[in-house]
Amino acid sequence: MKTKEASLNFNLYLNKKIGEKVMKAAKEMQRSRNSIISEAVEEWLGKHISSKWPNDFFSFKPIEDVPDFKALRDDLAELTDKDPLG
């Protein structure tokens, strides 16, 4: 069973030439104009919006003199029988 996705409504203004091409394609493909435009926007976003980690992330070098967080937490646990973070 396919789940229905939530949608947003937009007013979209296309010049006459592009609008006619979309209408013609929709008729030929027996699809709605909305589905064709949604597919085009999704494809554009896929090409222009990066979902990759930035290069700086992979070249990150940790600060060497920062104490290990987990070791500090273990030290706190010795002071109390309750987890200080939760």
Biggest CA–CA distance in the chain, Å, is 74
Q: What pLDDT, on a 0 to 100 scale, did the predictor assign at position 47?
A: 86
Q: What pLDDT, on a 0 to 100 scale, did the predictor assign at position 11?
A: 93
Q: Does 4 fall in a domain?
A: no
Residue 71 belongs to what domain range?
16-79
Q: Does 39 fall in a domain?
A: yes
Number of helical (H) and strand (E) elements in the chain, helices listed first:
4, 0
Model pLDDT for residues 53-80, shown as the tens digit of each residue:
777 888 888 888 887 777 777 766 666 6
Model pLDDT for residues 10-53, shown as the tens digit of each residue:
899 999 999 999 999 999 999 999 999 999 999 999 888 876 77
Residue among 11, 4, 35 nearest 22 (CA) = 35
Task: Output 81 or 57, whichever has higher pLDDT.
Answer: 57
Q: Does 6 fall in a domain?
A: no
Cβ contact 77:83 at 8 Å: yes
Q: Does 53 fall in a domain?
A: yes
Read off the tokens for 47.
Answer: 């090409």
How many domains, in total, are found in the chain?
1
Placement of tokens 């229905």 in the chain:
4
Q: Does 48 fall in a domain?
A: yes
